[in-house]
Amino acid sequence: MADIKFQVVRPNEPDETSPYISLADPTNDIANLRDAEEVVINESSIRVIADYPLKDEFEFEVKPFDGAQHFTRAALAHAISALYQRIYTEEDRTSPEVAGHVPGMMNRDTTEVKSSRHSMLK
């Protein structure tokens, strides 16, 4: 497993970086991402295991959004963001409870998603 670091420069603190990229909308963070176009994975697809905010682990295949045969740091951030958007959409569609947020954080609470991994990939 590769250890890929993300360094997002914060506009109001140019000497400081953050390892976090917004899953909701990574556009601004990717615009400020150091080495965004560096190839970090030389594969045309990867398997990502997601277990948060899910109660179980699910494995997903993700590909670069631009059809490339590799992932740049920016493409990886986009692909993971898109995966989480699909997870959140499926969660909103199938969970009997409303997904809230962890107090004091942007993270979503864990909910019970009713459908299988296969329906999330459609």
Confidence at residue 15, expressed as pLDDT on a 0 to 100 scale:
86
Half-sphere exposure of 46 (CA within 13 A, CB side): 22
Q: Per the omega criterion (within 30 degrees of 0), is the bond before 53 cis?
A: yes
Confidence at residue 115, expressed as pLDDT on a 0 to 100 scale:
43
Confidence at residue 94, expressed as pLDDT on a 0 to 100 scale:
76
Confidence at residue 88, expressed as pLDDT on a 0 to 100 scale:
79
Mean pLDDT by 10 residues, the chain (122 residues): 88 87 90 96 93 80 92 95 85 70 54 48 40
Q: What is the distance of C-alpha 87 from the center of its chain?
A: 10
Confidence at residue 102, expressed as pLDDT on a 0 to 100 scale:
53
Single out the residue of 60, 78, 45, 64 nearest to residue 116, CA to CA.
60
